[in-house]
Structure 1
Amino acid sequence: MTASAAVATAACFLWLGMVIAISFVEAPLKFRAPGVTVPIGLGIGRLVFRALNAMEAGWAIAILVALVVGSWSGMAVPVAAGVAIAMLVVQLVAVRPMLTRRSDAVLAGHEGPRSRAHIVYVALEVVKVVALIWLGIALLA
Structure 2
Amino acid sequence: MTVGHALATAATFLWLGMVLAISFIEAPLKFRAPGITIPLGLGIGRLVFRALNAVEVVWSIVLVVVVLLGDGWTRGAVIAGGVAIAALACQLIAVRPALTRRSDAALAAPDEISETRSRAHLWYVGLEAIKVVALVVAGASLLSA
- Do they fold alike, i.e. is TM over 0.5? yes
TM bracket (short chain): over 0.9
Q: Say if 2:57 is the partner of 1:57.
A: yes
TM-score normalised over the length of structure 2 = 0.93
Q: Equivalent of 1:126, from 125, 129, 143?
A: 129
Q: Distance in 2 between matches of 1:22 and 1:32?
A: 15
User: CA separation of 1:108/1:66 partners in 2, compared to 1, >3 Å: closer, same or farther?
Assistant: same
Q: Distance in 1 between matches of 2:47 and 2:6?
A: 30
- Secondary structure at the aligned position of 1:33 is classed as coil
Cα RMSD (Å) = 1.3
User: CA separation of 1:138/1:105 partners in 2, compared to 1, >3 Å: closer, same or farther?
Assistant: same
- Secondary structure at the aligned position of 2:4 is classed as helix
- Secondary structure at the aligned position of 1:49 is classed as helix
User: CA separation of 1:114/1:133 partners in 2, compared to 1, >3 Å: closer, same or farther?
Assistant: closer
The alpha carbon displacement at 1:70 in A equals: 2.3
Q: Distance in 2 between matches of 1:12 and 1:42?
A: 28
Q: Distance in 1 between matches of 2:118 and 2:73?
A: 43
Moved more, 64-73 or 118-127: 64-73
- Secondary structure at the aligned position of 2:36 is classed as coil
Alignment gaps of 5+ in structure 1? none
- Equivalent AA in structure 2 for residue 121 of structure 1: Y
- Secondary structure at the aligned position of 1:7 is classed as helix
Alignment gaps of 5+ in structure 2? none
Say how many residue pairs are matched. Answer: 141
- Equivalent AA in structure 2 for residue 124 of structure 1: L
4+ residue segments displaced more than 6 Å: none
Task: Quote the residue 1:111 is aligned against.
Answer: 113
Q: Distance in 2 between matches of 1:115 and 1:108?
A: 17
Identity of aligned residues (%): 62
Deviations 1:8-59 (A, max 9, x none): 0000000000000000000000000000000000000000000000000000
- Equivalent AA in structure 1 for residue 3 of structure 2: A
Deviations 1:37-88 (A, max 9, x none): 0000000000000000000000010111111112446410110110000000
Task: Quote the residue 1:20 is aligned against.
Answer: 20
Q: Distance in 1 between matches of 2:14 and 2:98?
A: 27
Task: Quote the residue 1:38 is aligned against.
Answer: 38
Task: Quote the residue 1:92 is aligned against.
Answer: 92
Task: Quote the residue 1:7 is aligned against.
Answer: 7
- Equivalent AA in structure 2 for residue 63 of structure 1: L
